[in-house]
Chains A and B, each alone.
Chain A
Amino acid sequence: MVKIENLSKSYENGQIHALKNINLNIERGELFGLIGPDGAGKTSLFRILTSLLIPDSGNALILNYNTIKDYKEIRKITGYMPGRFSLYQDLSVEENLEFFASVFGTTIKENYYLIEDIYKQIEPFKKRLAGKLSGGMKQKLALSCALIHKPEILILDEPTTGVDAVSRKEFWEMLLKLKKQNITILVSTPYMDEAILCDRIALIKNGEILTVETPQNIINQFDKKIYNVKSQSMYKLMKDLRGFEHTHSTFLFGQFVHFIPNKIDFNTEYLEKYLLDNNHSDIFIKEIMPSIEDCFMELDQAKSD
């Protein structure tokens, strides 16, 4: 469906490398996630795929259409939702949808079945100006507008950034439904908890793809133990853990510190004794399953080593 070969893009006369020799294949009907922090190159990649940006080198093909040469075809078969809300705030919900349907040479009626589930939720407000909608409703409208011409592939740039937890959940439920309609979906997100919902994910950082795998495989490939650690002084705990002889890596994760030992037969008693020796109290140590974020951190560290 999507084939990306040796794609590179730099800005400011080659000073900033947004994408470094990216290779990626996405299958038809896949829900593919691009996971990475801000500035990883996600938006640049999407802008190249949607024919908005010309790469320095390499090729990107969607359904064998080249994003540079066949940009006219590309624009017909892709639905794009930019990271920033880009619909007309001074037009109503209905007018926005009608406009985007008509410029693609279709009507709301024709493809209503595709957007029905999503649009139904904002239809009571169809006379309201898009600028007056809440964040979650804006996302639903944007998704409706991106879908209205029945694209083969949906490209969503951080659709859930700045959206509340409930709306985020709803949004992903809608994506899973769309997947059933056999629409290929390429979505980027900085949220690791959303990654698990994708068929496959690519972890991307500093313009490089660290790995491409199913979320489960990424977790399975994690070959180390990982512990939640807590004590009365988190700051001192971080500091002391860094100085511990068996530490592979350690980082703050919510209310815990994630501690990864440098050997697989690690015994927690070592750690407990070490912490007691360093005057820690209320010590809590528990082995956990690694999350996608742990894997990301691990891969990132492996890369920089």
Chain B
Amino acid sequence: MRTIFFILQKEFNQIKRNLFMLQLMIILPVVQLIVLANAATMDIKNINLAIVDRDVSTLSRQLISKFEGSPFFTITYRDFSEKEALNQILINEADAVIVIPENFQKKLIKNDKAKLQFSVNAINGMSAGITNYYIQSIILDFNKKIISDWKMPSSELKNMKSINVKFQHWYNKELIFNIFMVPGILVVLVTIMGMFLPGLNLVREKEIGTIEQINVTPIKKYQFILGKLIPFLIISFIELTLGLLVGIPLFSVPVVGSFLVLYGAALVYLFAVLGFGLLLSTFANTQQQLMFLAFFVLIIYILMSGIFTPTESMPDWGKAINAINPIYYFMNAIRMIILKGAGFYDIRSQIFPLLIYGIIVFSLAIFRYRKTAV
């Protein structure tokens, strides 16, 4: 036990010496959190619309003014050529084109129905879907208004029976994307630190040869590995705390759950991630090799973790990969804790896999670290 203390003392001395690195470790994640949580948003605030109005009637103008009145739409093009309007999408000046055909008003009055055409730029499927939804809801609204204005006396309108579906979004009532993203980005930040730093530190000892001198001492393998793990566990905790301190007030994230549960889950998670980083470091001989290896694994793990996209919609093999993805478990857990107020019992199916994961990778890291070359 005393040996571990001396090793830790040495590690902290070294970390303290590298002031620049220490500053980076503390400042960078906060900067990243502020930038990313603001930038990585799925909210679509501005849709550029090209309108081809061939009808030029009262109704067509009413419809257009509906779009004009919406805060989501900016009309960037308005002419009679459909070809030119579609070209606007091609040159990225417009996100969608609406074509109001000739006799739109006439047909609507005469036949009770008329056709409209809209085309949406679907390079980004996600934003196309949202644009589509916004346009449809405006047209639907317009449609209702016509029916009520023309077809029904106001007394009948009152008695009209209809099923009225109202949505209520739980845990994030206004669907504010930031609230969803801040915990996710926090996870990614502490993961990057945890995965790279202890591993790089260990490989650095290999690179500059100090491990040679360590290997001839009676230091035990687990002591050496623990000596690499504990300091960075502490640093990761400081980082997480800093991220919470900045992120919660800045983005008004409502914290429903308890910090005790959050930190408890984080401890289990960081143990797994740091252990994983150390395990990777036993495969690499240079910092460059480790960077490449860890980066490769990290990208896959992060993108599959459900930070941007729901994991439920992944194919089965994707879900299978996620079974060994620690980020996936913690990403779920932290959102459940912060947004839903989950307790330890509620996140048991996230915590137990992480605990088992941590024990396995940490044991493997100790096993793979060799004091003797063959």
**Nearest Cβ in chain B — how far from A251, in angstroms?**
35
Give the residue name and chain of the B residue nearest to A72 (CB).
Answer: B218
Write out the residue numbers on chain A whose beta carbons fall within 8 Å of the beta carbon of B218: 72, 75-76, 103-105
- Are B14 and A91 neighbours in the complex by a CB distance under 8 Å? yes
Contact (A91, B217) CB under 8 Å given A52-B372, A71-B372, A82-B209: no
List the A side residues contacting B208 at CB < 8 Å. 86, 89
Please name all residues of chain A whose beta carbon is closer than 8 Å to the beta carbon of B210 when the two chains form the complex: 86-88
Chain A proximity of B190: nearest CB distance (Å):
25
Q: Which residue of B lies closest to A102 (CB)?
A: B6
In the docked arrangement, what's the CA distance between A89 and B372, Å? 23
B10 interface neighbour in A72, A80, A88, Cβ under 8 Å:
A88
Residues in B1-25 with C-beta less than 8 Å from chain A: 2-3, 6-7, 9-10, 13-14, 17-18
Question: What are the residues of chain B within 8 A of A102 when measuring CB–CB?
Answer: 2-3, 6
| A82 & B212 in contact (Cβ 8 Å cutoff) | yes
Q: Is B374 an interface residue (CB 8 A)?
A: yes
- The answer to whether A50 and B216 touch across the interface, beta carbons within 8 angstroms, is yes
CB pair B7–A103 under 8 Å, yes or no, is: yes
Q: A95 vs B9: C-alpha distance in the bound complex, in angstroms?
A: 10
Q: Complex Cα distance A50/B213, Å?
A: 10
Partner of A52, one of B7, B13, B215, B219: B215
- Digitize B172-216: 1 where CB-to-A-CB distance is under 8 Å, 0 elsewhere: 000000000000000000000000000000000000111111011
- The majority secondary structure among interface residues of chain B is helix
Task: Give chain A interface residues in 33-51, CB to chain B under 8 Å.
Answer: 47, 50-51
- Inter-chain CA distance A102–B7, complex, in Å, is 9
**B66 interfacial contact with A, CB 8 Å:** no
A203 CB-CB contact with B under 8 Å: no
Cα distance A154–B373 when bound, in Å?
A: 21
With contact pairs A52-B373, A54-B373 given, residues A103 and B213 touching in the complex (Cβ less than 8 Å): no
Assess whether B371 is interfacial by the CB under 8 Å rule.
yes
The residue in A47, A84, A99 that gathers the most chain B C-beta atoms within 10 A of its C-beta is A99
User: 8 Å CB contacts to B: which residues of A67-126?
Assistant: 71-72, 75-76, 78, 80, 82, 84-91, 95, 99-100, 102-105
A226 within 8 A of B: no
Q: Give chain A residues whose Cβ lies under 8 Å from the Cβ of B13.
A: 91, 95
Cβ of A99 and Cβ of B10 under 8 Å apart?
yes
- Output the least CB separation between A126 and chain B (Å): 14
Contact A75 B216 (CB under 8 A): yes
Chain A residues near B17 (CB-CB < 8 A): 90-91, 129
User: How many Å lie between the Cα of A103 and that of B209 in the bound state?
Assistant: 18
Inter-subunit contact A87/B213 (CB<8 Å): yes
Judge whether B213 and A104 touch: CB under 8 Å.
no
Beta-carbon nearest neighbor of B6 in chain A: A102
A-B contact count (CB 8 A): 74
Shortest beta-carbon distance from A138 to chain B in Å: 13
Smallest distance from the beta carbon of B23 to chain A beta carbons, Å? 16
Is A53's CB under 8 angstroms from B372's CB? yes
Q: Across the interface, which residues of B come within 8 angstroms of A76, CB to CB?
A: 218
Contact of B374 among A54, A82, A99 (CB under 8 A): A54
Q: Are B373 and A100 in contact (CB under 8 A)?
A: no
- Residues of the B chain whose Cβ atoms lie less than 8 Å from the Cβ of A18: none
**Docked complex Cα distance between A103 and B216 (Å):** 11
Distance of A103 Cα from B219 Cα, bound (Å):
6
Determine whether A260 belongs to the interface, using a CB cutoff of 8 Å to chain B.
no
In the complex with contacts A47-B373, A99-B6, A103-B3, A90-B18 CB distance below 8 A: yes
Q: Is A195 an interface residue (CB 8 A)?
A: no
Question: Do B10 and A53 touch across chains, with their CB atoms under 8 A apart?
Answer: no
Specify which of A54, A76, A89, A102 lies most central, judged by the most chain B CB atoms within 10 Å of its CB. A102
- The reply to whether B216 and A91 contact each other, CB–CB distance below 8 Å, is no
Kindly state whether residue A145 has any CB partner on chain B within 8 Å: yes
Q: Once the chains bind, are B372 and A54 in contact (CB under 8 Å)?
A: yes
Asked if B14 contacts A80 (CB within 8 A), the reply is no
Q: Which chain A positions have C-beta within 8 A of B18?
A: 90
B217–A103 CB distance below 8 A: yes
Q: Which of A87, A90, A95, A100 contacts B217 (CB 8 A)?
A: A100
CA distance A100 to B9 in the complex (A): 12
Residue on B nearest A99 in the bound complex, by CB: B10
Give A273-298 as 1s and 0s: 1 = Cβ < 8 Å from B's Cβ atoms.
Answer: 00000000000000000000000000
Bound together, the chains give a CA A100 to CA B210 distance in angstroms of 12
Instruction: Report chain B residues within 8 Å CB of A82.
Output: 209, 212-213
**Smallest CB gap from A54: residue in B:** B374
As a 0/1 sequence over residues 154 to 189 of chain A, the CB contacts with chain B under 8 angstroms (1 = contact) are: 000000000000000000000000000000000000
| Complexed CA–CA distance, A83 and B219 (Å) | 21
Q: Which residues of B contact A95 (CB under 8 A)?
A: 10, 13
Most chain A CB within a 10 A radius of its CB, from B3, B14, B215: B215
Complex Cα spacing A270 to B371, Å: 61
25 intermolecular pairs with C-beta atoms under 8 Å apart = A50-B216, A51-B372, A52-B215, A52-B371, A52-B373, A53-B373, A53-B374, A72-B218, A80-B213, A84-B209, A86-B210, A87-B210, A89-B208, A90-B17, A90-B18, A91-B10, A95-B13, A99-B9, A100-B213, A102-B3, A102-B6, A103-B6, A104-B218, A105-B3, A105-B218
Which residues of A are in contact with B by a Cβ distance under 8 Å?
A: 47, 50-54, 71-72, 75-76, 78, 80, 82, 84-91, 95, 99-100, 102-105, 129, 145
Besides A47-B373, A52-B371, A82-B209, 10 new A-B residue pairs in contact (Cβ under 8 A), listed by A number: A52-B216, A52-B372, A53-B372, A75-B218, A84-B212, A86-B212, A99-B6, A103-B219, A105-B218, A129-B17
Interface residues of B (CB under 8 A from A): 2-3, 6-7, 9-10, 13-14, 17-18, 208-213, 215-219, 371-374
The 7 closest A-B pairs by CB, nearest first: A86-B213, A102-B6, A86-B209, A80-B216, A90-B17, A84-B209, A86-B212
